[in-house]
Structure 1
Amino acid sequence: MRVGLFVPCYVDAFHPEVGQATLELLERFGLDVDYPFDQTCCGQPMTNTGCHEESRATEELFVKNFSEYDYIVAPSGSCVNQVRRNFTALEQTEEVTAVRAKTFELVEFLHDILKVDAFPWAEFPHKVALHNNCNALRGLSIASMSELRNERFSKPKDLLGKVRGLEFVDIARPDECCGFGGTFSVFEEGISSRMGQDKARDQARSGADYVTSSDSSCLMHQEGCARRLQLGQKYIHISQILNGSRA
């Protein structure tokens, strides 16, 4: 199995350790992982602001970079949702549709494709609250939505439940958006900040030592809000926990 690793722009710029943890984690399972060095943005910022045609070049480059792999994996639900659902500027050729179909967010790849049943190297002796990015939750269905009356499931919790010493704590409004929303946090700064503060306070009340998610963008926003409010919880990407980080 050949896997192409896609590392989102904000991970590369602000949290390169998440990309490194993702690579190491995938390699632990004996996968042949490659990182195309000329990869760039997936085009999500342009699409989010309605500029679909402006994302054409980034979509074309993404397809060119990743078409040869069996799977494309990224530590980001929002970027994977962009590829799977919003790659609309391009003509939907067989090559384009194939790339879109085989692009997976890290959690769903481990859970649905590899069907991982153990992380023997992982131990995280802390109380942990889980945040599901809106795109990962509602676009990729990595967990059940709390407002729907259907069978409860959570792929991130299934994986984290295999980590020794990790204790889950629940927040009051688990599926409420944190307010990041990519360009939303730029154009609606006040609303975005208040939503992030509400989220951070909810997490603090839960008694969590750490908050984890499969999206660094949300964690970055929430961590900034928590620091400004002088709250005590820390933030860590799920790839780092599953790869064996203890703090």
Structure 2
Amino acid sequence: MTVELFIPCFIDQLFPETAFSTVKVLEKAGCNVEYNPQQTCCGQPAYNAGFWDEAKQVGNKFLQDFPDDRMIVSPSASCTGMVKNAYNDLFTNTLVHNRCRTIQGNIHELSDFLVNVLKKDYFGAELEGRAVYHDSCSALRECHIREEPRQLLSKVGGLELVEMRHTDTCCGFGGTFAVKFEAISSAMAEQKVHHALEMEADFIISTDSSCLLHLQSYIDKQGLAIKTMHLADVLAHGWANI
């Protein structure tokens, strides 16, 4: 299967290694990966800030950057959820209505694509330690992804996956929320990290780099003995030269 790779601007600018891990995992799953270097953003930052006209301009470019006859895979539930859901607000009953609906049906977050489309969950990954999985708001509530990442992580050699308290509670990032309500946002990150520490976890794993950046910032500031990892990096760990 040939798939189109959508790398959100957040990952492109801050976590490019996660993008390369995604390619490696998809190729190991048997996919031919195509990447359009002209792609930019899905429009989520502008949309969440209330600038819908600007979000529509960016979103329209997204719809033109990707073909409507291939699966689109992204290592971001947040951006996938933006396309699948918020594009209804931006493009319903417009000139690109039908194209938008087709692309909405074709785009998948990585774990959803691997488990539900390809029906594959083992890639030979190895990672020694104990981990908790953080359900990002977008993955759980917008993309309805819960069991898929856990199924993939259960097949990682050497990794013990345990459930922390309130795993489905927001980490506090929320894009502009972290800027507008810094104190609340930081307190939410503190709570999430300490729930992971209660389980004596070595790693906090998630599908969204934005959540992980927020949590890692708190971890670094406090000098805590725990680390965040993106699901794609875990699945490529132990066999890929990252």
User: Structure 2 length normalisation: TM-score?
Assistant: 0.93
Give CA-to-partner distance per residue, 1:106-141, whole Å, 9 cap, x none. 01001110110422x211121011011101101111
Partner of 2:228, secondary structure, is strand
- Contact kept in structure 2, 1:76 and 1:214, CA below 8 Å: yes
Find the partner of 1:175 among 152, 168, 174.
Answer: 168
Which shows bigger deviation, 80-89 or 48-57? 48-57
Residues 1:102 and 2:106 aligned together: yes
- Contact kept in structure 2, 1:129 and 1:211, CA below 8 Å: yes
Question: Aligned residue for 2:45?
Answer: 45
How far the C-alpha of 1:60 sits from its partner, in A, is 1.1
Mapping for residues 174-213 of structure 1, pairs under 5 Å: 174-213=167-206
Distance 2:161 2:68 in 1: 39
Distance 2:99 2:165 in 1: 44
Change (3 A) 1:194 1:117: closer
Mapping for residues 1-247 of structure 1, pairs under 5 Å: 1-87=1-87, 88-90=89-91, 91=94, 92-119=96-123, 121-143=124-146, 154-245=147-238
Give CA-to-partner distance per residue, 1:154-174, whole Å, 9 cap, x none. 111111111111101221211
Partner of 2:204, secondary structure, is strand
Alignment gaps of 5+ in structure 1: 144-153
Partner of 2:167, secondary structure, is coil
Q: CA RMSD in A?
A: 1.5
Partner of 1:235, secondary structure, is strand
- Contact kept in structure 2, 1:4 and 1:69, CA below 8 Å: no
| Structure 2 counterpart of 1:159, one-letter code | L
| Structure 2 counterpart of 1:89, one-letter code | L
How far the C-alpha of 1:67 sits from its partner, in A, is 2.1
Partner of 1:168, secondary structure, is strand
Distance 2:201 2:223 in 1: 14
User: Structure 1 length normalisation: TM-score?
Assistant: 0.91
Partner of 2:126, secondary structure, is coil
Distance 1:69 1:222 in 2: 37
| Structure 2 counterpart of 1:109, one-letter code | F
How far the C-alpha of 1:203 sits from its partner, in A, is 1.2
Distance 1:196 1:22 in 2: 26
- Contact kept in structure 2, 1:42 and 1:58, CA below 8 Å: yes
Change (3 A) 1:157 1:64: same
Distance 1:117 1:7 in 2: 21
Bigger share in helix = 2
How far the C-alpha of 1:200 sits from its partner, in A, is 1.1
- Contact kept in structure 2, 1:223 and 1:235, CA below 8 Å: yes
- Contact kept in structure 2, 1:67 and 1:95, CA below 8 Å: no
Change (3 A) 1:5 1:69: farther
